[in-house]
């Protein structure tokens, strides 16, 4: 398949995100296929977030690193609140262990980045600004601190899916997020893997409990309507 050949080419040439690919014409010649086939292959790699086309500038290796939109295919799932709860169960399996690994493995530079992101989220929350995206990024930086490459890829999958599936208001937990992001960051900086793990459990469990409370509330409202 031409798409797989292009992936092989990117690997062989050790290309990085942002690097420009040869032109369609050159690729066709190099891969010994027609230009239509190359065009089709590029299109499919763009929708897999492996390449990006910038109008007039050419085709580039994507910064999205091949992580697809809706990577878990959750777009079709109904009952978003139970889905949010299922997601929290998965996050509770992964993120406390990730936090513990981060405390063991983070480089000084990564700890600095984590602190800065912690400050950023805190400042957004205290100034009543939208903070979800930066919150997700905090968890992503923590994943990078773990030094595990699968985790580094998996955390954005989880956090992007979180954005997809949460209709639940998190604003109640704002101050909890401020306090516990700070505790997690300090635990990582102190190389305290036990602290990092249990602070993460507290953080996620407060959110989980909040989702359950909201579901109960909705049930109560529904039963009053009847």
Closer CB to a copy of itself, residue 90 or residue 126? 90
Residue of the chain from 29, 43, 63, 218 that contacts a copy of itself (CB under 8 A)? 43
Told to check if 48 binds a copy of itself by CB under 8 A, we report: yes
Residue of the chain from 5, 153, 170, 208 that contacts a copy of itself (CB under 8 A)? 153
Residue of the chain from 118, 151, 168, 207 that contacts a copy of itself (CB under 8 A)? 151
Told to check if 171 binds a copy of itself by CB under 8 A, we report: no
- The piece of 103-111, 116-124, 149-157, 186-194 that touches a copy of itself (CB under 8 A) is 149-157
Helices (H), the chain: 2-12, 24-31, 35-47, 80-105, 108-126, 132-145, 149-165, 174-189, 193-225
Across-strand partners of 126? none
Rounded to whole angstroms, how far apart are CA atoms 209 and 203? 10
Give me the 54-83 binding string for a copy of itself, x by CB under 8 A, dash otherwise. Answer: -----------xxxxxxxxxxxxxx---xx
Rounded to whole angstroms, how far apart are CA atoms 211 and 81? 7
DSSP 176-222: HHHHHHHHHHHHHHTT-HHHHHHHHHHHHHHHHHHHHHHHHHHHHHH
Rounded to whole angstroms, how far apart are CA atoms 169 and 82? 14
Residue of the chain from 37, 39, 49, 134 that contacts a copy of itself (CB under 8 A)? 49
User: Site for a copy of itself (CB under 8 A): how many residues?
Assistant: 42
Q: How far is CA 114 from CA 153, 186, 192, in A?
A: 17, 10, 15
Residue of the chain from 26, 58, 90, 133 that contacts a copy of itself (CB under 8 A)? 90
| Neighbouring C-beta atoms of residue 134, cutoff 10 Å | 17
Closer CB to a copy of itself, residue 89 or residue 212? 89
Residues 6+ apart with CB under 8 A from 71: 157, 160, 161
Cα–chain-centroid distance for residue 214? 25
Residue of the chain from 30, 34, 93, 219 that contacts a copy of itself (CB under 8 A)? 93
Closer CB to a copy of itself, residue 65 or residue 129? 65
Closest approach of a copy of itself to the CB of residue 162, in Å: 10
Q: Which residue has the tokens 């493995």?
A: 105
Closer CB to a copy of itself, residue 93 or residue 175? 93
Give the binding site for a copy of itself (CB under 8 A): 7, 10-11, 43-44, 47-50, 65-78, 82-83, 86-87, 89-90, 93-94, 97-98, 101, 148-151, 153-154, 157, 161
């Amino acid at each position: 398949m031409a798409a797989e050949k292009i992936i092989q080419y990117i690997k062989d040439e050790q290309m990085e995100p942002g690097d420009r690919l040869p032109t369609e014409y050159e690729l066709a010649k190099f891969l010994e296929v027609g230009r239509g086939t190359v065009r089709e292959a590029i299109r499919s790699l763009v929708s897999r977030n492996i390449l990006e086309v910038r109008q007039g500038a050419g085709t580039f290796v994507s910064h999205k690193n091949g992580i697809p939109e809706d990577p878990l295919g959750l777009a079709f799932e109904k009952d978003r609140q139970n889905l949010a709860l299922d997601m929290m169960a998965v996050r509770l399996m992964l993120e406390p262990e990730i936090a513990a690994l981060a405390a063991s493995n983070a480089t000084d530079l990564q700890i600095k980045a984590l602190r800065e992101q912690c400050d950023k989220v805190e400042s957004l929350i205290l100034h009543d600004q939208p903070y979800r995206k930066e919150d997700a990024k905090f968890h992503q930086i923590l994943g990078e601190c773990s030094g595990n490459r699968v985790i580094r890829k998996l955390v954005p999958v989880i956090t992007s899916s979180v954005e997809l599936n949460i209709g639940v208001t998190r604003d109640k937990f704002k101050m909890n997020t401020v306090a516990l992001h700070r505790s997690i960051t300090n635990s990582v900086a102190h190389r305290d893997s036990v602290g990092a793990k249990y602070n993460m459990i507290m953080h996620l469990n407060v959110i989980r409990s909040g989702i359950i409370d909201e579901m109960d509330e909705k049930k109560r409202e529904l039963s009053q309507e009847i």
